[in-house]
Structure 1
Amino acid sequence: MSALFEPWSPAFVADPYPAYQRLRETGRVHWFEPTRQWLVPHHEDVSALLRDRRLGRTYLHRFTHEEFGRTAPPAAHEPFHTLNDHGILDLEAPDHTRIRRLVTKAFTPRTVSALEPTVRRLAAELVDGVKRAGGGDLLADVAEPLPVAVIAEMLGIPESDRALLRPWSADICGMYELNPSEETARRAVTASLEFSAYLRELIAERRTRPGDDLITALIAAHDEGDRLSEQEMISTCVLLLNAGHEATVNTTANGWWTLFRHPDQLAALRADHTLLPTAIEELMRYDTPLQMFERWVLDDIEIDGTVIPRGSELALLFGAANRDPARFPSPDTLDLTRADNPHVTFGAGIHFCLGAPLARIELAASFGELLRETPTLRLAAEPQWKPGYVIRGVHALPVEL
Structure 2
Amino acid sequence: MSVTETVTQDQDLPFFPFPDTFSPLPSGTLAEIARRAPAIRVRFGPGQLPVWLIVRHAPARAMLGDHRFSRTRTLDFRPPLTGAQIPDRTSLLWLDPPDHTRIRRLVSTGFAHRRIEHLRPWIAETARRHVATMLAGPAPADFRKHVAAAVPVEVICHLLGVPEIDQDKVRTWAETLFRFSVDREAAAAGQKALHAYMDTLVRERQAQLAAGETATKLFDVLITTHDSDDGRLSEDELRSLALTLLIGGFETTAGVLTNAVGTLLAERSHWASLVADPELMPTAVEELLRYHPLSMTFPRVATEDVDLGDFVVRTGEVAIAPFAATNRDPALYDDPDRLDLTRPPVANLAFGHGPHHCIGAHLARVELAEVLRALIDLMPTLRLAVPLADLRYELAAPIGRPEKLPVVW
Could you tell me the TM-score, scaled by structure 1's length?
0.88
Q: Which among 190, 214, 217 is matched to residue 213 of structure 1? A: 217
User: Contact 1:290–1:318 (CA<8 Å) still a contact in 2?
Assistant: yes
Instruction: Supply the AA of the counterpart residue of 1:391.
Output: I
Indicate the SS of the match to 1:392. Answer: strand
Equivalent runs, 1:150-169 vs 2, <5 Å: 150-169=155-174
What's the counterpart of residue 25 of structure 1?
Answer: 35
* Residues 1:363 and 2:368 are matched in the alignment: yes
Question: Percent identity among equivalent residues?
Answer: 33
Q: Which among 52, 62, 73 is matched to residue 66 of structure 2? A: 52
Instruction: Supply the AA of the counterpart residue of 2:188.
Output: V
Q: Deviations over 1:87-137 (max 9, x none)?
A: 222111110111111122444444423322321121111111122226411
Indicate the SS of the match to 1:363. Answer: helix
Equivalent runs, 1:276-287 vs 2, <5 Å: 276-287=281-292
Instruction: Supply the AA of the counterpart residue of 2:326.
Output: A
Indicate the SS of the match to 1:325. Answer: coil
Q: Deviations over 1:174-233 (max 9, x none)?
A: 3xx4xx8xx722222222221011111111111111342111111122122611111111
Equivalent runs, 1:2-401 vs 2, <5 Å: 6-7=16-17, 9=19, 11-14=20-23, 15=25, 17-33=27-43, 34-59=48-73, 65=76, 70-71=77-78, 80-81=86-87, 84-133=88-137, 135=139, 136-174=141-179, 177=180, 184-210=183-209, 211-224=215-228, 226-383=231-388, 384-388=391-395, 390-401=398-409
> Residue 129 and residue 3 in structure 1: after superposition, are their counterparts in 2 closer, same or farther (change >3 A)?
farther
Indicate the SS of the match to 1:115. Answer: helix
Instruction: Supply the AA of the counterpart residue of 1:131.
Output: L
Instruction: Supply the AA of the counterpart residue of 1:141.
Output: H
User: Contact 1:168–1:195 (CA<8 Å) still a contact in 2?
Assistant: yes
Alpha-carbon distance in 1 for matches of 2:261, 2:120: 22
Alpha-carbon distance in 1 for matches of 2:291, 2:356: 22
Alpha-carbon distance in 2 for matches of 1:16, 1:228: 43
Which consecutive residues of structure 1, in runs of 5 or more, have no partner in the other structure?
none
> Residue 73 and residue 313 in structure 1: after superposition, are their counterparts in 2 closer, same or farther (change >3 A)?
closer
User: Contact 1:28–1:303 (CA<8 Å) still a contact in 2?
Assistant: no
Instruction: Supply the AA of the counterpart residue of 2:194.
Output: F
Which consecutive residues of structure 2, in runs of 5 or more, have no partner in the other structure?
1-6, 210-214
Instruction: Supply the AA of the counterpart residue of 1:188.
Output: A
User: Contact 2:59–2:309 (CA<8 Å) still a contact in 1?
Assistant: no
Alpha-carbon distance in 1 for matches of 2:104, 2:166: 27
Alpha-carbon distance in 1 for matches of 2:293, 2:119: 25
Alpha-carbon distance in 2 for matches of 1:167, 1:333: 36
Task: State the superposition RMSD in angstroms.
Answer: 2.5
Indicate the SS of the match to 1:47. Answer: helix
Could you tell me the TM-score, scaled by structure 2's length?
0.86
1:3 Cα deviation from its structure 2 partner: 8.6
Q: Deviations over 1:16-63 (max 9, x none)?
A: 611111111121221113332111000111111110111121138xxx
Query: How many equivalent residue pairs?
Result: 382
User: Contact 2:283–2:343 (CA<8 Å) still a contact in 1?
Assistant: yes
